[in-house]
Amino acid sequence: MSDSSPGGPERRARELREALRHYSYLYYVRNQPEISDERFDELFLELKTLEEAHPEFVTPDSPTQRVGAAPLDGFETIEHAAPMLSLDSSADLEPLQRFDERMRKALGDDVAYVVEPKLDGASIELVYEGGRLSRAVTRGDGVRGEGVTENARTIQSVPLRLRDADRTMPGFLALRAEVIMRLGEFEALNARLLESDRAPFANPRNAAAGSLRQLDPRITAARPLDIYVYDILAIDGRPPPTQWETLEALRDWGLPVNERCRPAAGVEDILAFHAELEEGRDDLDYEIDGIVVKLDDMAARDEVGETSHHPRWAFALKFPPRNEVTRLLHIFPSVGRTGVVTPIAFMRPVELGGVTVSRANLHNREEVARKDIREGDRVRVQRAGDVIPQVLERIEEPGRERAEPWVMPAECPSCGTGLEPRGPYTFCPNLFACPAQLAGRIQHLGSRHALDIEGLGEETANLLVRQGLIEHLPRLFELEAETLMELEGFAEKSATNLVEAIAAARRTELARFIYGLGIPEVGVTVAGELASHFRSFEEFRAADDETLQTVDGIGPRMAEQITTFLARPVVSGLVDELRGFIDPVPPPRSGDALAGLRIVLTGWLETMSRSEAAKRLEAQGAKVTSSVSKQTSYVVAGENPGRKLERAQTLGVEILDEAGLLELLSGGGADDSGGSDVDDGSGEADAADRADASGEPGEA
Ligand code: IVH
């Protein structure tokens, strides 16, 4: 296709690279995206396909080349271009006032500052040589750190190449930046880690630092990180004369700068900024732990100089920490959907940064023992953003008599089966039958990235199990509206809606079905990879460890988890039964007849429901969307079409009737000769998917 574009594939590849860089810059640096995520993905896919056909045109700084390096044996120690000093800081006002007085004394009364959020992440040095990212080094001891270049390349907002369009780029540029993990990503990562029996990170900073220090760049790539750049460590040529101009220059070179930075004239401005950020702290989707005040004028910075630890021209005013002390009342073992039994702390309610907290996760019995937390103890609880609170530590109370150490019960609190320890964790082996696990499984199967059954949330799943309506997962598909109506909280309408939603879910995409089974380690991304690789559930199910490992992102550990799970007799019987109800559709191939079409459905169809039409169109590669735009290829109008038909007429979009739809579907005899798969699962999925895409490639 693109091979026929004027100038040939090489020129097209160059155009695509430039376009993708430009759109990333608008998105990450200017916060003014000009195209949809979908369009971006389409261009990315076009470039990827083109480069696959013509590997000779791949450049090292192509946007497709973010992940590619092989795992390392260890990190190289690299010296920074200039020392990465730390900051003088305090949560009290007085040291800040003294800082301001010192500056005024040295520089006069019209001293100018820049104030910035103090990002709570991992500090890193980025070096660009000839405009290309040549290395990334962790802060380490401030003089030298670890080379994590390949990992930094996986961060989408780190440009692989500097922009030269608005401001001449320097030949050499060493920067200081903060790598962060946004809260949504952090929570999703911890959920994944816990699900696969691994210890969660205590906060987003540790998660960012830990993800950056993975020897396998693919693991880093699966943990979406972000970056903000705030300082020039070294540059060839003349550096910008002020901090404010530095930030502008960094933006022009395509580097993401935090949008909240601003000029400040004195203590009053500084405190206003501090108050504003502290108040808005919960609305940010990343963690900050204070503000940083910096002299704006670079010449003035040289004048005041630095100590061996920190510059004299900057000061950090920290926020009070978001942790509190309260009393732990009770520890309760809670059984999750995979059978992991998690000790939960019930505490006297306490306010943490505006939210009342009464429960916290204690993770596993070894954590409880390690922190020596007992019922009745005074404990310090911490909350980071919207994250589930954690018990940080026990507070000593000399002379107070304590309860006995907490022990995990021998039997499952939900079904009474004997519990089994596995490493630090404890499991209820009554897979799928234990009521607590069953309710969790039902909820997971109905969740947004699985069968997406509206109305089947946690509460309903629990109710169905508690009332004995479902004792076995496949019974979900035999529920009747009449039975549901007898339950508390259900009326005729809600009961019918749920039954219909369950029926509609019987035709689902293969990836959703695989994900919905709740196989250990198999998150949304991995399920997508498996679906595009095997294209039929039976093929996937029959695959042995070795075959599974030929799938992108699947290592030996994950392969083994998958085969072991599927081979368990309970699971195998259950899957057989589920297959009797559910007939999953394989994902489209790039050679699919309808690939690239965007279709909107409106009105009542006679031969099939709209959702079935959508599934069949999607199975052949079309994209079915809900609103009509100029990009829409066809609007399919059934009986009593809605506004969408009018809009199609206004925009001049082609309109099909039901016969036209059927023709489109049958004309689309998909070419099954094995073209490459559309979904490359490289994390270029839509935003919702990004939020909790798993894809921990065989982390040992
Ligand atoms: S300036 C020599 N600006 O805070 C001055 N640091 O506790 C260089 N940090 O290690 C630091 N946000 O990693 C600066 N806007 C910001 C920052 C920032 C976060 C980090 C930095 C430093 C730590 C000190």
What is the CATH classification number for the domain harbouring 636? 3.40.50.10190
Residue 552 in domain? no
Nearest to 302 by CA among 287, 312, 291, 316: 312
Atom 21 of ligand 1: nearest residue by CA position: 123
Check residue 229 and give its pLDDT: 98
Element (H, E) at 64: none
Of 389, 408, 426, which marks where a domain is finished? 426
Report the distance separating Cα 377 and Cα 357, nearest Å: 16
Q: Consecutive 10-residue runs of the chain (700 residues): their mean pLDDT?
A: 64 95 94 88 93 92 87 92 94 94 94 97 97 96 95 96 95 98 88 74 89 94 95 95 98 97 96 93 89 97 92 93 88 94 94 81 90 95 74 92 96 97 92 95 95 94 95 96 92 94 93 95 89 94 96 89 95 96 83 82 88 85 83 90 87 91 71 31 28 30
Statement to judge: residues 216 and 328 lie in one domain: no
CA 680 to chain centre: 17
Statement to judge: residues 178 and 275 lie in one domain: yes
Report the distance separating Cα 151 and Cα 225, nearest Å: 10
Helices (H) and strands (E) in the chain, counts: 25, 22
Of 66, 91, 110, which marks where a domain is finished? 66
Residue 631 in domain? yes
Report the distance separating Cα 418 and Cα 57, nearest Å: 60
Look at strands 113-119 and 288-295 and give their pairing.
antiparallel
Atom 22 of ligand 1: nearest residue by CA position: 86
Statement to judge: residues 371 and 234 lie in one domain: no
Distance of CA 86 from the midpoint of ligand 1 (Å): 7
Nearest to 178 by CA among 229, 137, 134, 251: 229
Return the ligand 1 atom nearest residue 87 CA: 24
Cite the active site residues: 118
Statement to judge: residues 224 and 355 lie in one domain: no
Distance of CA 550 from the midpoint of ligand 1 (Å): 43
Atom 4 of ligand 1: nearest residue by CA position: 118
Distance of CA 177 from the midpoint of ligand 1 (Å): 8
Check residue 355 and give its pLDDT: 75
The enclosing domain of 26 has a CATH number of 1.10.287.610
Check residue 698 and give its pLDDT: 31
Question: With contact defined as beta carbons under 8 Å apart, do 290 and 90 qualify?
Answer: no
The enclosing domain of 371 has a CATH number of 2.40.50.140
Return the ligand 1 atom nearest residue 294 CA: 1
What the block records as the tokens of 407 is: 């022990």
Return the ligand 1 atom nearest residue 122 CA: 13
Residue 235 in domain? yes
Return the ligand 1 atom nearest residue 306 CA: 2
How many structural domains are present in the chain? Answer: 4
Statement to judge: residues 369 and 332 lie in one domain: yes
Statement to judge: residues 26 and 56 lie in one domain: yes
- Alpha helix segments (H runs only) across 505-653: 510-516, 524-534, 537-542, 545-548, 556-567, 569-581, 610-619, 643-651
Return the ligand 1 atom nearest residue 116 CA: 15
Atom 2 of ligand 1: nearest residue by CA position: 85
Distance of CA 365 from the midpoint of ligand 1 (Å): 37
Report the distance separating Cα 394 and Cα 379, nearest Å: 4
Atom 7 of ligand 1: nearest residue by CA position: 87
Residue 364 in domain? yes
Distance of CA 57 from the midpoint of ligand 1 (Å): 40
Statement to judge: residues 119 and 255 lie in one domain: yes
Check residue 685 and give its pLDDT: 28
Mutation choice for ligand 1 from 176, 178, 243, CB with most ligand atoms inside 8 A = 178
Mutation choice for ligand 1 from 123, 205, 309, CB with most ligand atoms inside 8 A = 123
Distance of CA 352 from the midpoint of ligand 1 (Å): 25
Cβ neighbours for 486, distance < 8 A, ≥ 6 positions apart: none
Check residue 597 and give its pLDDT: 86
Mutation choice for ligand 1 from 80, 84, 118, 176, CB with most ligand atoms inside 8 A = 118
Atom 16 of ligand 1: nearest residue by CA position: 118
Mutation choice for ligand 1 from 88, 89, 99, 119, CB with most ligand atoms inside 8 A = 119
Check residue 127 and give its pLDDT: 98
Check residue 6 and give its pLDDT: 59
Statement to judge: residues 313 and 328 lie in one domain: no
Atom 6 of ligand 1: nearest residue by CA position: 118
Check residue 272 and give its pLDDT: 97
Atom 13 of ligand 1: nearest residue by CA position: 123
Statement to judge: residues 312 and 330 lie in one domain: no
Statement to judge: residues 308 and 328 lie in one domain: no
Which residues' Cβ are closer than 6 Å to ligand 1? 85-87, 89, 116, 118-119, 123, 176, 178, 230-231, 292, 311, 314, 316
Distance of CA 85 from the midpoint of ligand 1 (Å): 9
Q: Please tell me the number of Cα atoms within 13 Å of 372 on its side-chain side.
A: 4
Question: With contact defined as beta carbons under 8 Å apart, do 367 and 194 qualify?
Answer: no
Distance of CA 94 from the midpoint of ligand 1 (Å): 20
Check residue 439 and give its pLDDT: 97
Residue 450 in domain? no
Return the ligand 1 atom nearest residue 231 CA: 1
Element (H, E) at 666: helix 658-667
Statement to judge: residues 608 and 622 lie in one domain: yes
Query: What's the whole-model pTM score?
Result: 0.59
Check residue 203 and give its pLDDT: 81
Residue 529 in domain? no
Distance of CA 87 from the midpoint of ligand 1 (Å): 6
Residue 488 in domain? no
Mutation choice for ligand 1 from 84, 86, 87, CB with most ligand atoms inside 8 A = 87
Distance of CA 118 from the midpoint of ligand 1 (Å): 6
Q: What number of other Cβ atoms are within 10 A of residue 389's Cβ?
A: 22
Atom 12 of ligand 1: nearest residue by CA position: 118
Return the ligand 1 atom nearest residue 117 CA: 15
Distance of CA 84 from the midpoint of ligand 1 (Å): 9
Distance of CA 202 from the midpoint of ligand 1 (Å): 21
Residue 564 in domain? no
Return the ligand 1 atom nearest residue 85 CA: 2
Statement to judge: residues 37 and 91 lie in one domain: no
Return the ligand 1 atom nearest residue 178 CA: 13
The enclosing domain of 280 has a CATH number of 3.30.470.30
Of 426, 442, 458, which marks where a domain is finished? 426
Nearest to 470 by CA among 448, 437, 496: 437
Check residue 353 and give its pLDDT: 65
Domain of 158 in residue numbering reads as 78-318
| 435-445 helix and 458-466 helix, angle to the nearest 10 degrees | 140
Distance of CA 243 from the midpoint of ligand 1 (Å): 14
Return the ligand 1 atom nearest residue 120 CA: 19
What the block records as the tokens of 55 is: 């590997």
Tell me the backbone φ, ψ of residue 242, rounded to 5 degrees: -135, 165
